[in-house]
Amino acid sequence: MRAIAGNNLLELEDSVANQQALSLKLGDLADEMRVSALAQNAAAADTIEPGLMREIRDAAGELKRLNLRYSFLLKYSSRSVALMAALFNSFKGQFQEASGARLKHQTWSCRV
């Protein structure tokens, strides 16, 4: 948000890239934990109270849902960064029109 407010495209791109890298690491960690948890669940199924197991499953489901939402947010952010980069470049006079037979007029609109 600071990068957007400061109109700093490089900082915004770096932030999105860092979030994507973090998301990948979290995905890998989740996969490792899932394998470990499956092995532990088999051994601990008899020792954990059923109510606690239900809470653990509910928490795991909620975490999975939130991770999915975060993943979608990162994908949306990446597209937004690309659009903002194109918009910033057009303000700098670096706008490249697509080739081909069409009208040579383009308009930009922003939604706040």
pLDDT over 70 percentage in the chain: 76
The residue type at 26:
L
The residue type at 42:
A
The residue type at 79:
R
Q: Are 4 and 12 in contact (CB under 8 A)?
A: yes
Q: Which pLDDT value is given to residue 93? A: 67
Q: Which pLDDT value is given to residue 59? A: 92
* Lowest mean pLDDT, pick from 13-17, 33-37, 67-71: 33-37
Task: State both tokens at 6.
Answer: 């400061």
